[in-house]
Amino acid sequence: MYKYDNYDQAMVDARVQEFRGQVERRLAGKITEDQFKPLRLMNGLYLQLHAYMLRVAIPYGTLNSGQMHMLAHIARKYDRGYGHFTTRQNIQYNWIKLEECPDLLDELASVEMHAIQTSGNCIRNISSDQYAGAAADEVADPRPWAELLRQWSSFHPEFSYLPRKFKFAVIAADEDRAAMRLHDIGIQLVKKDGVLGAKFFVGGGMGRTPMIGPEIRDFVPAEDLLSYTEACLRVYNRYGRRDNMYKARIKILVHEIGADEYRRQVEEEFAHVKTLGIDPPLAEFERITEYFAPPAFSADADAKLDRSDPDFAVWLDQNVKPHKQDGYSIVNISLKPIEGISGDASADQIDAMADIAERYSFDELRVTHAQNIVLPHVAKRDLHAVWSALRNEDLADANLDLISDIIACPGLDYCSLANARSIPVAQKIAKRFENLDRQRDLGELKLKISGCINACGHHHAGHIGILGVDRKGVENYQLTFGGSGAEDVSVGKIIGPGFDEDGVVDAVEKATEVYKEQREDGERFLDTYRRIGVAPFKEAIYAK
């Protein structure tokens, strides 16, 4: 894990002090809400449907146990005993009091965390592969690169007022576990002739105009990474549309001028930026990389697992993934219990996950874009103990990547931009498919729900996507099929007229029946849909 140096800590501490003064002035009436709003947003504090909401950054989704305990402490002391893990690998608290927020941020800073750049038209928290440093298929650990980008982008004066918000994802494997191509800049670390570098994809995104980022460069040598990134941002900062909020994301620029022209301009800018010497010396990069050195693995490589408990065996098959180190595994903790709320965890559960990570996962946890938690390094011999400990906290649902592992944004239950509720729809679908055997028979099926076109719930990337719309003041739900946020990335297509809440649950069920009738060996829902097209699904769903 990265450790703050004196600069990092001083910057964060100074920011909390500054915000404390701003809050005092607001409470004393010395500044108006219009003056204060941009200041609180710069510190992650939104005003939502019911109360203030605080978004805390979790850099590339990586946490240690102490930080996780702090998140639980904040939920208990400053909120109503829970937090919401988001698709951007962050956590949001829904009930923060303005007058207490500076104290909260002080406590957060004591564990090297903050809420800076979690709002506004700046470079937001960098997201990454939740299996970084543990996955067998990565060419390098992406986290040192994500950390480098974090340092470069923190308070970067040139990029603190971009045309619109800006989101990065950095991965290092061909399997895309971070929806990389749906980010403003997606970076995939690759090796070419044994040399490490990066592929750049620029101009992806969701929202009202979903786009898959085209490849802009197939290989940027590692030593040029920051210069090249800076060139990408500069071209956007210069030409991005500031006249129209809906056209201000970089995806619109890349789309309007075309990937070739954008690439040409970036190359031109890059030639100039490279003369400025902003790429860090190798020694600095090595300093950062040391913080991410693999832990002291020591487990018996050929530990045998006792699979005699069937519930444990199912959880192993569904939620536990291979690790690059023999004798170890990656454990996924589902935050999607059948009656629960996607991504929500209670303070007690957060504490329990922190304890389990401390004891069994070298003190490390990850937040995933699918709103789950990962224990990246668990010895195989400890898997049963981990499972038992998770089960005691209702955290052992064996539904990873199944139909009940639904991404759902807060929707109209919490969000002031929403058209419709997301959570109750997710709950009804999960309940309908409660039987785990039935879910496992359906196999991998990624269902994602957003309560409005902003697409925080990634519905465009759902094998089945659901979008809440307002139809004359009544909640209505559109279905999209065929999206994917993985390496087979695609944007889902609307299948036809929308449904009410129960109607959409029925429609999803009918779609799964069509899939079961039509699937060929080894096909997932998405594969069958891609092969046979939408017609058979529509026929079944809209049949009178």
Q: Which residues bind another protein (CB under 8 A)?
A: 26-27, 29, 33, 47, 49-52, 80, 94-99, 341, 412-414, 416, 418, 421, 423-424, 427, 470, 473-475
Regarding 410 and contact with ligand SF4 (CB under 6 A), the answer is: yes
The minimum distance between CB 478 and another protein, in angstroms, equals: 17
Question: Any contact of residue 361 with ligand SF4 (CB under 6 A)?
Answer: no
In the complex, what is the shortest distance from the CB of residue 388 to another protein, in angstroms, rounded to a whole number? 28
Shortest reach from residue 415's CB to another protein, in Å: 10
CA distance 41 to 116: 9
What beta strand segments (E) does 232-278 contain? Answer: none
Q: How far is the CB of 369 from ligand HEM (least distance, A)?
A: 8
Shorter beta-carbon distance to another protein: residue 47 or 111 = 47
Look at residue 207 and give the partner it binds from ligand SF4, another protein, ligand HEM, none, a contact being a CB closer than 5 to 8 Å depending on partner kind: ligand HEM
- Residue 452 binds: one of ligand SF4, another protein, ligand HEM, none (C-beta under 5 to 8 A by kind): ligand SF4
In whole angstroms, what is the distance from residue 397 CA to residue 335 CA? 8
C-alpha span between 357 and 362 (Å, rounded): 6
Q: Which stretch binds ligand HEM (CB under 6 A): 82-90, 134-142, 222-230, 289-297?
A: 82-90
- Compute the C-alpha angle 341/346/347, nearest 5°: 160
List C-alpha distances in Å: 527 to 254, 400, 481, 531. Answer: 30, 19, 11, 6
* Of 204 and 457, CB closest to ligand SF4: 457
Rounded Cα gap, residues 284 and 291, in angstroms: 12
**Nearest Cα residue to 464 out of 507, 519, 416, 523:** 507
278's contact among ligand HEM, ligand SF4, another protein, none, with CB below 5 to 8 A by partner kind, is: none
Assess 86 for contact with ligand HEM (CB under 6 A): yes
Instruction: Please report whether residue 411 would count as binding ligand SF4 according to CB under 6 A.
Output: yes
Please report the sign of the dihedral spanned by the C-alpha atoms of residue 59, residue 61, residue 206, residue 173: positive
Which residues are paired to 174 by β-bridges?
A: none
144 binds ligand SF4 (CB under 6 A): no
Taking the C-alpha atoms of residue 181 and residue 412, their distance in angstroms, rounded to an integer, is: 28
Instruction: Please give the full DSSP string across 433-498, using - where no structure is assigned.
Output: T--HHHHHHH-S--EEEESSTT-TT-GGG-SEEEEEEEETTEEEEEEEES-B-STT-B--EE-SS-
Q: CB of residue 373 vs ligand SF4: minimum separation in angstroms?
A: 20
Q: Which does 450 bind (CB under 5 to 8 A by kind): ligand SF4, ligand HEM, another protein, none?
A: ligand SF4
Q: Does 455 participate in binding ligand SF4 (rule CB under 6 A)?
A: yes
Beta carbon of residue 19, minimum distance to ligand HEM (angstroms, whole number): 19
CB atoms within 10 A of CB 84: 23
User: Is the Cβ of residue 17 or residue 454 nearer to ligand HEM in the bound state?
Assistant: 454
Decide: 504 and 466 in contact? Cβ < 8 Å: yes
Chain residues 412-441 in contact with ligand SF4, contact rule CB under 6 A: 415, 417-418
Q: How far is the CB of 26 from another protein (least distance, A)?
A: 8
Which residue, among 369, 258, 2, has the nearest Cα to 149 in the 3D structure? 2
Nearest-angstrom CA–CA distance, 346 and 321: 25
- Residue 126 or 425 having the CB closest to ligand SF4: 425
Which lies closer to another protein via its Cβ, residue 80 or residue 321?
Answer: 80
**By CB under 6 A, is residue 451 in contact with ligand SF4?**
yes
Candidates 84-92, 136-144, 333-341, 480-488: pick the segment binding ligand HEM (CB under 6 A).
84-92
C-alpha to C-alpha distances, 320 to 301, 315, 339, 384, nearest whole angstrom? 16, 7, 23, 11
Minimum CB–partner distance for residue 332 and another protein (Å) = 24
Residues 478-517 that bind ligand HEM (CB under 6 A): none
Which of 48, 117, 153, 349 binds ligand HEM (CB under 6 A)? It is: 48
For every residue of 168-198, which 3-state class applies, written as one string?
EEEECCCCCCCCHHHCCEEEEEEEECCEEEE
Q: Which amino acid is at 542?
A: Y
What residues does 198 pair with on adjacent strands? Answer: 189, 220
Q: How many residues bind ligand SF4 (CB under 6 A)?
A: 13
Among 169, 365, 402, 415, binds ligand HEM (CB under 6 A): 415
| Interacting residues with ligand HEM (CB under 6 A) | 46, 48, 53, 86-88, 92, 164, 167, 205-207, 249, 409-410, 415, 417, 454-456
| Interacting residues with ligand SF4 (CB under 6 A) | 409-411, 415, 417-418, 450-452, 454-457
